[in-house]
Chains A and B, each alone.
Chain A
């Protein structure tokens, strides 16, 4: 088993994976909204982290650092996806058209509406909202993870909540409107 040692810490890759696999996978999944892609991106995140870890200094905050790698990895993938989004069937950022029909509450439970609203809101605000609500990060931890100022976090969360609310309400009321 490979152990990585810095001045104050000793980690094994297996331990890191076991401890963070679910939070990181769950986070990446909610950023990209696709399980298969979340698999690939989680793998990429951990492999990038394992490779960089021996070079990191002793006071590394492992958790925030892993989320930072995961965020960058997922956003890179989302940007690539946007480049090929001119193919209508690959436009995964939007829900399929059948959401328009019937009462969405009957098709979707609250959990699905929440997930759909997350997918529909602007990508750049999604991470901040997930880190705050799902991971319980503070403003300063989010700032550190997303590499932005704390005032930026305030703005991101405000925009995130406004657009999440819009998307949630439109899904609740019939789903069609963007």
Chain B
């Protein structure tokens, strides 16, 4: 294996992601190539630097910003109303059915009253 080919495999070699024959070829090459050994050592060092990079935390105000944002409040409203839960949606439809039935009854009843009232008028005339 030449240096160019080995350099494409060094990253996977470091992570132990090569097949056994590939791994063997790289190991053999590294034994006789100081340049490629140097790069492998650098990769190892960079991994350590990256993993030790200080973690950056969000400012405490981000919490407030998120949980008072219009988008969050809208979502919270929808979830509390149960608009995303099927059983509550069913309840609402059920309630609407009852309201509709009551409305129909009321219309029917008032029509009846109106008709009786008109008939009564005719009688008295």
Question: A residues within 8 Å of B by Cβ?
Answer: 2, 4, 13-14, 17, 21-23, 25-26, 29-30, 35, 38-39, 42-43, 46-47, 50-51, 54-55, 110-111, 114-115, 118, 129-130, 132-134, 136, 139, 154, 157-158, 160-162, 164-165, 168
From residue A27, how far is it (CB to closest CB) to chain B in Å? 10
Closest B residue, CB atoms, query A5 = B85
Across the interface, do A165 and B56 meet the contact criterion of CB distance under 8 Å?
no
Main secondary structure of the interface of B (DSSP, over half): helix
Closest A residue, CB atoms, query B65 = A43
B71 at the interface (CB under 8 A from A): yes
B46 contacts across to A, CB distance below 8 A = 114, 161, 164-165, 168
Closest A residue, CB atoms, query B14 = A161
Q: Can you list 30 A-B contacts (CB < 8 A)?
A: A4-B79, A14-B67, A21-B57, A25-B56, A26-B55, A26-B57, A29-B56, A30-B53, A35-B56, A39-B65, A42-B62, A43-B62, A43-B66, A46-B66, A47-B66, A47-B75, A54-B84, A110-B49, A114-B53, A129-B50, A132-B15, A134-B51, A139-B17, A154-B11, A154-B12, A157-B15, A158-B8, A158-B9, A161-B43, A162-B11
Closest B residue, CB atoms, query A46 = B66
- Chain B residues bordering chain A, tally (CB within 8 A): 37
Q: Binary interface profile of B, 47-83, with partner A (CB < 8 Å = 1, else 0)?
A: 1011101111111001101110101100110011000
Given contacts A39-B62, A43-B66, A51-B75, contact A133 B57 (CB under 8 A): no
